[in-house]
Structure formats: structure tokens, C-alpha cells
Amino acid sequence: MNNTDQNLPALLVQIVLAVIMLAVAFELTISDIKQLPKMWKKLLLGYAMQVTFLPAFIFLMLVIINPSINLVLAFLLLAACPGGNLSQLFVIRSNGNIGLSTGLTFFSTLLSPITVPGIFFLATHGNSDWSEAYRSLELPWGNIFKTLVTSLILPLIIGLWMRSKKSAGWVKAREVIQKSVPWLLFALLSGACWSFRKSLSGIDALMVMMVAGISISCFILSFFFNRFISQDYTTSVTIAWEVSIQNSGLGMVLGLVYFSNIPEVSLVCALWGIWQIGMGFLVSGVIGKLFSRNEVVC
């Protein structure tokens, strides 16, 4: 069912995603990475929730709602994607812990070649009908591994290397790339709409409600779960954003290249990206005003 040809829309989305990952890496330094072991307990808690909370919640919702098999595959692939880079922006606006957020994005991206296929495989084998659909896909995981490495890991490493360069030329190059990110995100979503123009009729109320409901529910449940286990506000709101913000751009790349016969995959990822931008700015702005910065730990 898959088409592994690197068509033009998929290649452009992959390039945009790689540039955005470069900009994420510019926010990291080697000294920042060396500081991560000092918050290992919070990192372990946050990462454990990233790879279990959203996949488990989506799995439960799919069992209850029982949508079409194509929607099942779309949401399970989205659940398997690592955290998205937009989370740092929303963490800052929410007066959260930016150091923890950056660390979680770093680790979820670094381990994504293992977690994406692993989570998707385990989730699809939780139901006999889903596992049969998974087998029919005949996914080329070797090629998918290469896509994950070239879209996420290599830009992260190159970005860290560029971040270490102090000359004026390198500083200017980093500034240009970072300033281009909002426009690239807009272009990414616009390009997705254009690529999916023939499939837009496939967007229905159920798909939109699932995207919005799952995202906001995961944020709320994750936040209050962390408060329940006695985490401070900054840790709780940071992990909540990391759990509910997925790398939907990566989902679109995988959808365009490896799920070309299942347009719901790319549509769900595109809708998730649009929703999380709107939801993120609104919610982070509101809660950023409600809570003071007294508990912020950087």
C-alpha cells in the first residue's frame, strides 16, 4: 500500500522540517547538554510520559470511538512521532521550565528512529484488525529509519556544530535560519493544504473533533497528573506541553512518502499541526497570565 518514491511535496516538506530542526539545535549548547543530568528525574518522568501517555490515550480513544481503519493508522502514527519543537515557545509563554523542555525535545528527537517504529508496531498490534492492516502496509522500516535520521538527527547534529561557531558569518547564518522558521511553518501548512487539495473532502467532523479533543485532553490530564504526584507548576506545565505537542511535520513527511494511499495519515498530521499552533498560542497566553514566574526553574 505504500509508495516509497521521494515525490516533490514530500521532499520539500522534509527539507523544511530539517531546517526547522536546525533552528531548534541553535537553542542548545554543549554546556546545556552537560546540565541535563542534573535534572535527570524530571527528564525521566517527562520522557516516560512522552512515549506512553499520548499513545495510550489515543489507543483508548480509538478503541472507544472505533473509527475507520485508515483513521486508526493515522492517529497511531501521529502518536508515535516525537515531541514537536513548538513546545518550547508555548513553555516560555506559560512560564514553564525551558531547560526541561529543550532536554525532552533533544532526547525524543535523538531516540525517534527507535521509538517511532516501536510505538507504531506495538500500538497497531493491540487489535487483530489493526495488526492485519499493519501487515498489509509492508512498511520499509529501513527506508523510514533513513528518513528519520536525515529529517531529525542529522539537522540536530549539524545545528549543534553550527551553534559552536562564533564568527560573525555563522552568527548571521543562524539568525537568518531562525527568522525563517515562522515563514517555513506557514509554507509547510500551506503546502500541505495544496498537496492534500484532492483529499480535503475527506476531512469530516469526526476527524476534527478527534484532533482537537485528544490534544487538549492530553494537555489537561498530563498537567493535573503531574500536580497530583507533587510536581511543581513549571515541571507540570512543561511536561503537559511536551506530551500534547507532536512533531506533525514529521508525520506529514512519513504520510506523504510511505502512506501515499492513505490520505488520512497526512490529513490528520496537517490538522494536528494547525490545531496545536492555535491551541498552543491561546492556552499558553491564558495560563501564562494566570500563573506567576515564582516557581520557574531554568
Q: What is the pLDDT of residues 74-105, one digit of tens each?
A: 999 999 999 887 888 898 889 888 888 888 98
Secondary structure of 173-206 in HEC code, one letter for each residue: HHHHHHHHHHHHHHHHHHHHHHHCCCCHHHCCHH
Residue predicted with more confidence, 14 or 2: 14
Which domains does the chain carry? 8-290 (1.20.1530.20)
CA angle 4, 8, 276 (to 5 degrees): 90
Residues 3/258, Cβ–Cβ less than 8 Å: yes
Q: What angle do CA 199, 202, 206 make, to 5 degrees?
A: 150
- Round to whole Å and give the CA distance between 264 and 126: 20
237, 287 Cβ separation under 8 angstroms = yes
Q: Are 72 and 62 in contact (CB under 8 A)?
A: yes
Dihedral angle, C-alpha 263, 267, 269, 270, nearest 10 °:
140
Buried b (16+ CB within 10 A) or exposed e, 81-114: bbbbbbbbbbbebbbbbbbbbbbbbbbbbebbbe
Which residues share a beta bridge with 83?
A: 246
Cell numbers linked to 243: 506530551
Per-residue model confidence as pLDDT tens digits over 216-255: 999 999 999 999 998 999 999 999 999 999 888 888 888 8
Identify the three-state secondary structure at position 167: coil
Question: What global pTM score does this model have?
Answer: 0.84
CA distance 245 to 177: 22
Percent of the chain with pLDDT over 70: 88
Statement: residue 36 has pLDDT above 70: yes
Q: Does the structure show a pLDDT above 80 at 259? A: yes
